[in-house]
Each structure stands twice: as structure tokens, then as C-alpha cells.
């Protein structure tokens, strides 16, 4: 490993951007989004460097880029010159921002285009609400530590929450319920209740939305209506319990801690409302068709 991946706190700290063009402006915007006080200059002046936490050069004259790199490295200020690895003391990764979740991807400068392609693939696989889930966990972290002093037990509770009902409530934007679910798990010795997703089965597997693919891939059981195409069922985990059954059975499994997908041939919202009597006491959500 040539580069050490780190995350730098820039809130309220000066950051220097040297250059004048679209790339320089994008870098300045990225630094500003991280809370930095951005000093942007078309050319380099040594007077701009003192007090800066880091410096970036892009689309400036060669002499300015060379001078920026030399002065920053001499002063111990991390510096990046876009597409000039020989002038850099750090490199910029491709970033997936699901604040407060951040994913940084790098090829150590060898193939930046590949890093961007990897970012696109990983970004498509991450639930859009992953940042919301992290924020929910952070908001109750102190209380959870108070209720569960044992680190090992607390870790097990969080691992279960991040793949169960707490996560799905956060993904659905139901933050208060997600917080309550996580804190309730702190007092449980038995497995936490599971979750049901109502998913409308399309005619072809490639018409499944990304969210539908994700919940099918995570489900412990997939209970479906008659007539659901086999390729759609094949999107589920290989070891998932796949069979024709209704919402009452889905609720029974979820009450025992299972993550269940209820695949319906019609409108999933209508099915959820029609079978609401079977859902009392069970957490559930509807996955829109897209």
C-alpha cells in the first residue's frame, strides 16, 4: 500500500486552490462542501500558503504549479496538483458522498478513470439512505453505550440493526421509528423482529429497480403470488426460502427475526393496504416500482 487513506477535517480551516478553469472551480467547490475556507487564486503566491491545511493546483501556469508544489511540501502542507502525480504529496480519490458515510476509491494514481468506474458501480449498490442510517446510529450512540456497556454485545446489536428493521426504517425516511427500534434492541435478549418489503414483481427481471434487487438479495425469505416469473425469483439469495405464500406467513416469519420480501403481481401499495390486518406489530415498507 503506497498511500495511506485518511479523512481530513477542513471545517473552518483555510485551503488554497491555485488555478483558473472548470477543474479548479470544481476542486474549490469540493473543499467548500467539506467546510473549508477556500482561498482561490489564478496564480501562486507564497503569501497565500501560511495557515492553509492543504493546497490544490489545477489549470495554472507550469511555473505556478511547480512553485506551489515545492513551497507546500517544504512547509509540510499536503498538496495535490491535478494529473501531475510527481508534484503531489497526496492524491484525490473518487468519492461517494452519503453524508455522514463517505467512500473513497483510489488506484494510487495509476488509473483515475478506473477509480471513477468503480465508484459508479459501488454507488449503484449502496442504498441511498445509508447516510441516514449512520446518522440515526450516531444520534443514539451515547444512550446505547449507557444502556449496553459491553462492547461485544453492543457491536452485535448494531450489526443486527444495520441489516434489519432499524436499517429499513431509516431507508424509508422514518428516523424516529428507526431510533426507537435501535434502542429497543438494546433491551432484547431474543433476536430483534425482522422486516417485510412489499415488492411489485415485473414481467422481466431486468425491470427490477435497484432497491428491489437489493432487498431481494438480502431477504431470508421471498414469499410470492402465483405467476411471478422465475427469473425475478432468481434475483433472490440462493439460500433464501422461496415459496408461494401470503402476508400472514410473511408476518409470522418477520416476527421471528427474518427479513422477508412479499412479491406481488399487482400494485405493492394496494397489496399492503389490502392485507394490513396481517401486519399488526410488524415493521414493513413498500418498494415503489420506480
CATH number of the domain at 239, please: 3.40.1010.10
Instruction: Give the rounded percent of residues in the chain with a pLDDT score beyond 90.
Output: 57
Look at residue 189 in the predicted model and tell me its pLDDT: 57
Do 286 and 206 fall within a single domain?
yes
Look at residue 138 in the predicted model and tell me its pLDDT: 93
Note whether residue 4 is domain-resident. Answer: no
Look at residue 137 in the predicted model and tell me its pLDDT: 92
Do 118 and 79 fall within a single domain?
no
Note whether residue 3 is domain-resident. Answer: no
Q: Are 218 and 198 in contact (CB under 8 A)?
A: no
Look at residue 123 in the predicted model and tell me its pLDDT: 85
Note whether residue 228 is domain-resident. Answer: yes
Do 171 and 240 fall within a single domain?
no
Domain span including residue 110: 93-126
pTM above 0.75?
no
Do 172 and 251 fall within a single domain?
no
Note whether residue 211 is domain-resident. Answer: yes
What is residue 183's three-state secondary structure? helix
Residue stretches of the chain with pLDDT short of 50: none
Do 207 and 173 fall within a single domain?
no
Could you list the beta-strand ranges (E) of 218-287: 221-224, 241-244, 259-264, 284-287
Do 197 and 278 fall within a single domain?
yes
Counting the structural domains of the chain, the total is 4
Do 165 and 233 fall within a single domain?
no
Burial of 55 (0-12, 13-18, 19+ CB in 10 A): buried
Do 229 and 183 fall within a single domain?
no
Q: Are 174 and 182 in contact (CB under 8 A)?
A: no
Look at residue 30 in the predicted model and tell me its pLDDT: 94
Note whether residue 283 is domain-resident. Answer: yes
* Measured distance CA(96)–CA(119) in Å, rounded: 7
Look at residue 86 in the predicted model and tell me its pLDDT: 92
| pLDDT tens-digit readout, 162-205 | 877 888 899 889 999 999 988 888 876 555 568 999 999 999 98
Look at residue 11 in the predicted model and tell me its pLDDT: 96
Average predicted confidence (pLDDT) for the chain: 90
Note whether residue 137 is domain-resident. Answer: yes
CATH of the domain at 119: 3.30.160.110
Do 236 and 182 fall within a single domain?
no
Do 176 and 197 fall within a single domain?
no
Do 104 and 183 fall within a single domain?
no
Do 176 and 247 fall within a single domain?
no
Note whether residue 70 is domain-resident. Answer: yes
Q: Which helix (H) or strand (E) holds 222?
A: strand 221-224
Note whether residue 217 is domain-resident. Answer: yes
Amino acid at each position: 500500500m503506497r498511500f495511506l487513506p485518511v479523512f481530513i477535517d477542513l471545517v473552518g480551516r483555510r485551503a488554497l486552490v491555485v488555478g483558473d478553469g472548470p477543474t479548479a472551480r470544481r476542486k474549490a467547490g469540493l473543499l467548500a462542501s467539506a467546510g473549508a475556507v477556500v482561498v482561490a487564486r489564478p496564480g501562486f503566491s507564497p503569501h497565500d500558503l501560511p495557515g492553509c491545511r492543504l493546497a490544490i493546483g489545477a489549470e495554472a501556469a507550469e511555473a505556478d504549479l511547480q512553485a506551489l508544489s515545492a513551497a507546500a511540501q517544504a512547509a509540510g502542507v499536503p498538496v495535490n496538483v491535478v494529473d501531475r502525480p510527481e508534484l503531489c504529496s497526496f492524491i484525490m480519490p473518487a468519492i461517494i458522498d452519503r453524508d455522514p458515510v463517505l467512500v473513497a476509491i483510489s488506484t494510487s494514481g495509476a488509473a483515475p478513470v478506473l477509480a471513477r468506474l468503480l465508484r459508479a458501480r459501488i454507488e449503484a449498490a449502496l442504498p441511498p439512505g445509508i447516510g441516514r442510517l449512520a446518522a440515526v446510529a450516531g444520534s443514539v450512540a451515547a444512550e446505547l453505550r449507557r444502556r449496553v456497556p459491553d462492547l461485544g454485545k453492543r457491536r452485535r446489536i448494531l450489526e443486527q440493526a444495520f441489516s434489519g428493521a432499524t436499517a429499513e426504517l431509516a431507508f424509508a425516511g422514518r428516523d424516529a421509528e428507526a431510533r426507537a427500534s435501535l434502542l429497543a434492541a438494546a433491551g432484547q435478549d431474543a433476536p430483534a423482529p425482522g422486516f417485510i418489503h412489499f415488492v411489485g414483481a415485473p414481467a422481466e427481471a431486468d425491470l427490477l429497480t435497484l432497491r428491489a434487487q437489493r432487498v431481494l438479495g438480502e431477504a431470508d425469505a421471498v414469499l410470492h403470488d402465483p405467476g411471478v416469473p422465475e427469473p425475478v425469483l432468481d434475483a433472490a439469495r440462493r439460500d433464501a426460502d422461496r415459496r408461494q405464500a401470503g402476508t400472514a406467513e410473511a408476518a409470522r416469519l418477520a416476527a421471528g427475526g427474518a427479513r422477508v420480501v412479499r412479491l406481488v403481481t399487482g400494485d405493492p401499495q394496494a397489496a399492503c393496504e389490502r392485507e394490513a390486518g396481517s401486519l399488526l406489530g410488524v415493521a414493513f415498507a413498500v418498494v415503489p416500482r420506480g
